[in-house]
Amino acid sequence: MRLGSPGLLLLLFSSLRADPQEKEVRAMVGSDVELSCACPEGSHFDLNDVYVYWQTSESKTVVTYHIPQNSSLDNVDSHYRNRALMSPAGMRQGDFSLRLFNVTPQDEQKFHCLVLSQSLGFQEVLSVVVTLHVAANFSVPVVSTPHSPSQDELTFTCTSINGYPRPNVYWINKTDNSLLDQALQNDTVFLNTRGLYDVVSVLRIARTPSVNIGCCIENVLLRQNLTVGSQTGNNIGERDKITENPVRTREKTEVTWSVLGVLCLLVAVAVAIGWVCRDRWLRRSYAGHV
* DSSP assignment of 236-271: TT-TT--PPPHHHHHHHHHHHHHHHHHHHHHHHHHH
| Residue 162 near residue 139, CB atoms below 8 Å | yes
The residue out of 229, 244, 259 marking a domain boundary is: 229
Q: What is the pLDDT of residue 241?
A: 28
Which of 136, 218, 208, 149 has its CA nearest to residue 157? 149
The answer to the question of residue 223 being in a domain is yes
Q: Which residues of the chain have pLDDT under 70?
A: 1-18, 232-290
The residue out of 229, 245, 260 marking a domain boundary is: 229
User: How many domains would you assign to the chain?
Assistant: 2
Give the predicted TM-score (pTM) of the model: 0.70
The residue out of 229, 249, 270 marking a domain boundary is: 229
Looking at residue 67, which CATH number applies to its domain? 2.60.40.10
92 burial type by CB count under 10 A (0-12 exposed, 13-18 middle, 19+ buried)? middle
Residues 290, 271: Cα–Cα separation, whole Å:
29
End-to-end CA distance of the chain: 151
Q: What is the pLDDT of residue 271?
A: 57
Shared domain check, 42 and 84? yes
Shared domain check, 167 and 71? no
The answer to the question of residue 39 being in a domain is yes
* DSSP annotation of 137: P
| Residue 102 near residue 83, CB atoms below 8 Å | yes
Shared domain check, 202 and 224? yes
Task: State which residues form the domain around 115.
Answer: 21-135
Shared domain check, 126 and 148? no
Shared domain check, 118 and 43? yes
Shared domain check, 171 and 131? no
Amino acid letter for position 234: N
Q: What is the pLDDT of residue 74?
A: 85
User: Alpha-carbon dihedral of residues 202, 207, 210, 212, nearest 10 degrees?
Assistant: -20
Shared domain check, 215 and 126? no
Shared domain check, 119 and 35? yes
Shared domain check, 124 and 47? yes
